[in-house]
Structure formats: structure tokens, C-alpha cells
């Protein structure tokens, strides 16, 4: 039996929650990042890369990027849905957004794990 | 009895240059604009992070790029976008939890968001410049 409800109050709830959950995580990470950055003795390559190569910070940073890209997907998709009416154009913009964000996720992983 | 009622033409007021948005409306549209701006410049920000973490040599490239006055200006703009999106986002989370829904409270929190995000931008911007 197909249980999916295409209409009604539950449609989009998952994205609504995901948008907020990722926002909360990013807000907490922003505070942690600000504190760690302020605690750096100097802004040099050694200090800066040292911060990001610490295991926990790298892990949290990667989660931040994944949260950011998922959050951006929902937000940018909402913008397309609000302003772009022709179905074909909208679909194309959705796909471009999605491909970009997935690509960015790979890029972010490469930046963080190359260290 | 006649069924005919004279209907006043309903005002359709979608002239964007004439609509005066209330404060919460301004915060809301700026939330969207700042989010869109941050999304559009994601590749540039990832490029900067990539250069800053690559090696001591690429770190030099990074320093040279962010040292350019025009880039600094752009980054200050993005900093404001992040701060506004951050503050307005926290306000929206509180509204979701039914905090500050009354008209006066909503207006005040909008004002706070606008002011705090600019103050944070100035403080951090001055420190980084």
C-alpha cells in the first residue's frame, strides 16, 4: 500500500524540520568557530591549519558544511518555487542548484581531509 | 430585495516601489536576500578556505586575495549577510516556538535583529580589516 500523502499538513514537514535542525547546528558551530578563532595565538598558516586538522574540529566543520548545503538546498529551492513559474525552467534551476551543492560537499571534504 | 451589491474595486497593491514593508517584513525579505547572496558566493568562499588551508604558499595567495580592498568590501558585505541571516534566523526559531508573536514584540525583535547584525558586522569587520 502506498502510504505517501501528497497533500495535507504533513507535506513538507520533513524539510521544514531539516531546515531548522541544520540552522541550530550551524548556529552552535558558528559560536564554537568564533571562540576557537579568537583563541588562536596569531593568524598564521600553522595556527589556522592546526585548528582545522584537529579531529573533533574537522568533524564538526564537515558537519557544518553538510548542514549548510542541505539548508541552502531547502532555502534556494523555496526561492525558485516562489518566483519561477514555468515548470521546465524551475526544474532546470532545481537541478543546477542540487548539482552545485553536491559538488560543493565533495570540495569541502577534499579541503578538510587533505590537511 | 435586490441581490446586487456594489462592490468596491479591491485595491491591488503590488507596486513594489510603493509598498512600505513593516519592520518584520523588512527583516524577512533581507533574510531571503542575504541567504541568496551567501549561496551565490559559496564557490568564492570555498575557494578562499581551500587556499587558506592548502599550504603555506597558497596561504600567501589567500592573504593577497583577501587583502585587496574590493575583496575586503565584498567580504564585509558577506559578513553582514551572515550576521543578518544568523540573527533573523534565531528570531524565526523563537517565532516558531510562539515566542514574541504579539505585534509590539515582533516589531521590537525586528529592530533588535537589524541593529545587532549591523553592530556585529562593524565590530568583527573592524577587527578583521
Q: How does pLDDT run along chain A (115 residues), one tens digit per residue?
A: 666 665 566 668 899 999 999 999 999 999 999 999 999 999 999 999 999 999 999 999 999 999 999 999 999 999 999 999 999 999 999 999 999 999 999 999 999 998 7
Q: How many domains does chain B have?
A: 1
Establish whether A71 is an annotated binding residue: yes
Taking CB atoms and an 8 Å cutoff, what residues of chain B touch A72? 35, 38-39, 42
pLDDT at A96: 98
Q: Specify if B13 maps to a domain.
A: no
**Helix and strand element counts for chain A (H, E):** 4, 0
How many contacts (CB atoms, under 8 Å) link A and B? 47
Decide if A20 and B96 are in contact by the 8 Å CB cutoff: yes
B129 exposure class (CB count in 10 Å sphere: 0-12, 13-18, 19+): exposed
pLDDT at A45: 96
Q: Specify if B16 maps to a domain.
A: no
Rg, chain B, Cα only: 22
How many other C-beta atoms can be found within 10 angstroms of the C-beta atom of residue B105? 13
Q: Is B44 on the interface with A (CB under 8 A)?
A: no
Q: What is the three-class DSSP state of B68? A: coil
Grid cell digits, residue B35: 541567504
Rounded distance, CA B86 to CA B78, Å? 12
Q: Which of A20, A45, A107 is the closest to B56 by Cβ?
A: A45
Residues 6+ apart with CB under 8 A from B42: A72, A100, A104
- Tell me the mean pLDDT in the region B7-33: 85
Q: Is B36 on the interface with A (CB under 8 A)?
A: yes
Residue B20 has pLDDT above 90, yes or no: no
CA B128 to chain centre: 20
Residue B122 has pLDDT above 60, yes or no: yes
Residue B1 has pLDDT above 60, yes or no: no
Would you list the domain boundaries of chain A? 15-113
CA nearest to A79, candidates A19, A33, A5: A19
Q: Specify if B112 maps to a domain.
A: yes
pLDDT at A4: 66
The alpha-carbon gap from A1 to the nearest alpha carbon of chain B, in Å, equals: 34
The alpha-carbon gap from B97 to the nearest alpha carbon of chain A, in Å, equals: 12
For B7, half-sphere exposure in the C-beta direction (CA atoms, 13 angstrom radius) is 5
- Maximal CA-CA distance, chain A: 61
The alpha-carbon gap from B83 to the nearest alpha carbon of chain A, in Å, equals: 10
Q: Specify if B6 maps to a domain.
A: no
Rounded distance, CA A21 to CA A114, Å? 28
Q: Which of A20, A52, A76 is the closest to B39 by Cβ?
A: A76
Q: Specify if B3 maps to a domain.
A: no
Pick the residue of A42, A101, A110, A111 with the most B CBs within 10 A to test the interface with B by mutation.
A111
Give B4's pLDDT tier (boundaries 50, 70, 90). low
Q: Specify if B107 maps to a domain.
A: yes
CATH of the domain at B28: 1.20.1300.10
Residue B116 has pLDDT above 70, yes or no: yes
CATH for A15-113 is: 1.20.1300.10
Helices (H), chain B: 23-40, 42-54, 56-67, 69-96, 103-128
pLDDT at A10: 67
Task: Give the nearest chain B residue to A27 (CA atoms).
Answer: B86
The average confidence (pLDDT) of chain B is 92
Q: Specify if B17 maps to a domain.
A: no
Reported as a single tens digit per residue, the pLDDT across B50-67 is 999 999 999 999 999 999
Rounded distance, CA B53 to CA B33, Å? 29
How many other C-beta atoms can be found within 10 angstroms of the C-beta atom of residue A28? 12
ipTM field: 0.89
Decide if B54 and A108 are in contact by the 8 Å CB cutoff: no
Q: Which of A27, A48, A108 is the closest to B86 by Cβ?
A: A27
Residue B18 has pLDDT above 90, yes or no: no
Angle between helices B69-96 and B103-128 (to 10 degrees): 150
pLDDT at B15: 77
Q: Which of B39, B46, B52 is the closest to A48 by Cβ?
A: B52
Taking CB atoms and an 8 Å cutoff, what residues of chain A touch B117? none
Q: Provide the residue range defining the domain that includes B69.
A: 23-128
Amino acid at each position: 500500500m502506498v502510504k505517501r500523502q501528497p497533500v495535507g499538513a504533513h507535506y513538507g514537514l520533513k524539510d521544514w524540520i531539516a531546515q531548522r535542525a541544520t540552522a541550530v547546528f550551524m548556529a552552535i558551530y558558528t559560536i564554537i568557530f568564533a571562540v576557537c578563532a579568537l583563541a588562536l595565538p596569531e593568524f598564521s598558516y600553522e595556527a589556522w591549519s592546526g585548528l582545522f586538522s584537529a579531529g573533533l574540529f574537522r568533524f564538526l566543520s564537515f558537519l557544518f558544511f553538510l548542514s549548510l548545503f542541505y539548508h541552502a538546498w531547502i532555502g534556494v529551492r523555496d526561492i525558485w518555487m516562489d518566483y519561477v513559474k514555468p515548470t521546465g525552467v524551475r526544474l532546470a534551476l532545481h537541478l543546477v542548484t542540487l548539482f552545485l551543492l553536491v559538488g560543493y560537499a565533495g570540495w569541502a571534504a577534499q579541503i578538510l581531509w587533505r590537511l | 430585495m435586490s441581490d446586487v451589491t456594489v462592490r468596491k474595486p479591491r485595491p491591488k497593491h503590488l507596486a513594489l516601489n510603493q509598498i512600505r514593508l513593516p519592520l518584520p517584513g523588512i527583516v524577512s525579505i533581507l533574510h531571503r536576500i542575504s541567504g541568496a547572496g551567501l549561496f551565490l558566493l559559496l564557490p568564492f568562499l570555498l575557494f578562499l578556505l581551500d587556499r587558506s588551508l592548502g599550504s603555506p604558499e597558497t596561504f600567501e595567495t589567500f592573504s593577497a586575495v583577501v587583502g585587496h580592498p574590493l575583496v575586503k568590501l565584498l567580504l564585509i558585505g558577506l559578513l553582514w549577510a551572515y550576521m543578518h541571516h544568523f540573527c533573523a534566523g534565531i528570531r524565526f526559531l523563537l517565532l516558531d516556538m510562539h515566542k514574541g508573536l504579539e505585534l509590539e514584540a515582533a516589531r521590537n525583535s525586528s529592530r533588535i535583529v537589524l541593529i545587532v547584525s549591523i553592530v556585529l558586522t562593524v565590530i568583527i569587520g573592524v577587527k578583521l580589516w
